[in-house]
Amino acid sequence: MQQNLEYILTIYETGSIRKAAEQLHITQPALSIALRKVEESLGSPLFDRSCHPLELTPAGKIYLDGIYQMHQIEKNVRTAIHDLSELNTGSLRIGGTQYFTAYILPPVIRRYMQLYPGVELHLSEADTSLNLKKLLGSQLDLMLSTREYNPDKFEIYPISHNTLLLSLPRSLACESGLLPWALTRGDILSGKYQSADPIPDPARLAGLPFILLHAGSDLRKRSMEFFRKAGFSPKIALCVEQLVTAYQLSCCQMGAAFVTDTLICQCADADVVYLKLEPAFAVRSFHIVTQKNHYLSNAARRFITLCQEELV
């Protein structure tokens, strides 16, 4: 029974019987037979095989929810026992994009490890959608995100916020007549960008080559809404997976990219300038997300508190 649960969960997570078989180190025919036996015993298929990647059928969603509930019961028991040791032992699994794990969390992680050296930390550095899937599958205890989530299903712990700016090569700012609004990295470090200085009309950005994040990311959605309100379709030079990559490409004169003040402050000087953006678009809050009505370990609670103290 336990083996079948692992099989179904792996097929769901990978979206493919072939990939699941490789991950489970069994043959694809053996996995297909095991899946078919489970479906025959239930009297209903669990996956829609016409979809690539595979998608759950209504019966599959019920079955997967049952797997998650069983995993959660087991996890709650184990975690409650671990908590009796007052964080002398235990583990904490944290999810975040490369931006969060590289530029936001390091000081918090350092402090946490100093306070609780017996707790083993595991970081899942991945796309938010994948981390969300892991959170729902109880493979993560918590995740950092800028997206909005249904409060009926998730607990949201506000942590801090950052400000989006547009990074663009200095030469591009000159060519497009945007230099009068340009800010330097020194202006960002000093906090000058937070003053009430005027911002350029967003319509003036039309025609710039943009480096955007991939479709489906929170910043991509925000960016496209920004362009829609500005009244133009962007000229997309490149699409990348990570905010850090977009910024580095902009620093290499490849185009304009939306970046954060936190990222700018932690990177070296480059021949780029920055433009302020409308506050409604620019201010981006981030928070820690956990599953609602799931046991939250002492290790996780201490981490959330530390984030709120260190990152404000």
Domain residue ranges of the chain, discontinuous segments joined by +: 2-61, 89-160+286-310, 161-284
How many CB atoms neighbour CB 17 within 10 A? 20
- Split at pLDDT 50, 70, 90, the class of 70 is confident
How many CB atoms neighbour CB 202 within 10 A? 18
pLDDT, mean of residues 291-307 = 91
The verdict on domain 2-61 having CATH code 1.10.10.10 is: yes
More confident: 77 or 145: 145
Radius of gyration of the chain (CA): 23
Q: Where are the beta strands (DSSP E) in the chain?
A: 47-48, 55-56, 91-96, 120-125, 142-145, 154-169, 209-213, 235-240, 256-260, 272-275, 283-291
How is domain 89-160+286-310 classified at the CATH fold level?
D-Maltodextrin-Binding Protein; domain 2 (3.40.190)
Round the average pLDDT of the chain to a whole number and report it. Answer: 91
Say whether pLDDT at 88 is over 80. Answer: no
Amino acid 268: pLDDT: 84
Say whether pLDDT at 306 is over 90. Answer: yes
Instruction: Please answer whether residues 126 and 87 qualify as being in contact, where contact means their C-beta atoms are separated by less than 8 angstroms.
Output: no
More confident: 149 or 81: 149
Amino acid 2: pLDDT: 77
Q: Are strands 235-240 and 209-213 parallel, antiparallel or unpaired?
A: parallel
Q: What are phi and psi of 95, to 5 degrees?
A: -115, 145
- Split at pLDDT 50, 70, 90, the class of 296 is confident
Classify domain 161-284 at the CATH superfamily level. Answer: Periplasmic binding protein-like II (3.40.190.10)
pLDDT, mean of residues 242-269 = 93
pLDDT, mean of residues 234-244 = 94
Amino acid 197: pLDDT: 79
Q: What are phi and psi of 90, to 5 degrees?
A: 125, -175
Amino acid 83: pLDDT: 67
- pLDDT above 90: percentage of residues in the chain: 71
Same fold, 2-61 and 161-284: no
- Split at pLDDT 50, 70, 90, the class of 86 is low
- The position carrying tokens 């330097």 is 184
How far lies 220's CA from each of 102, 108, 131, 173, 236, in Å? 20, 27, 17, 22, 12
Q: Give the distance, in angstroms, between the CA of residue 47 and the centroid of all CA atoms in the same chain.
A: 26
